[in-house]
Amino acid sequence: MSSPYRVEIEVRSHYLKDQSQPEQESYVFAYTVTIRNTGKIPVRLLSRHWIITDANGKEQEVRGEGVVGEQPYLVPEASFQYTSAAMIETPVGTMHGSYQMHADDGHLFDAPISAFRLALPNILN
């Protein structure tokens, strides 16, 4: 039997050359997240938790309410998309984390966000 609580998360990232300063070890990446409620019960995104790791192994942990100032409410099959940014000290890194979700029936659960790469174009094969 499948869970009535399912949230799919897709992330695309790209390098922001105009906001980066490689000579000062500052690389900025935008990431666009699409969150889709594929479960059977409406849910609200309460908070986020990110772990951002650069190529030197330096980790930044980010926690906060909602995303981009919102706590989106998603009925089944609805989606929400937003774009944000992260800065790291190397031209390559990764991000992963989770969103804490609150279902209409009171159930709290974490929706995992799989690791995705932050990388300058053409730096990796």
Position 2 scores a pLDDT of: 72
- The structure tokens listed for 50 are 């990110």
Whether the pLDDT of residue 1 is over 90: the answer is: no
| pLDDT, tens digit (0-9, with 9 covering 90-100), for 20-65 | 999 999 999 999 999 999 999 999 999 999 999 999 999 999 999 9
Q: Report the C-alpha gap between 5 and 100 in whole angstroms.
A: 12
Cα–Cα distances (Å) from 68 to 31, 33, 37, 87, in that order, read 12, 11, 18, 16
Position 125 scores a pLDDT of: 55
Structure-token match 């992330």, residue found: 11
Other CB atoms within 10 Å distance of the CB of residue 84? 14
Q: Which domains are delineated in the chain?
A: 7-113 (2.60.40.1470)
- The structure tokens listed for 46 are 């309460």
Is the distance from CB of 55 to CB of 93 less than 8 angstroms? yes
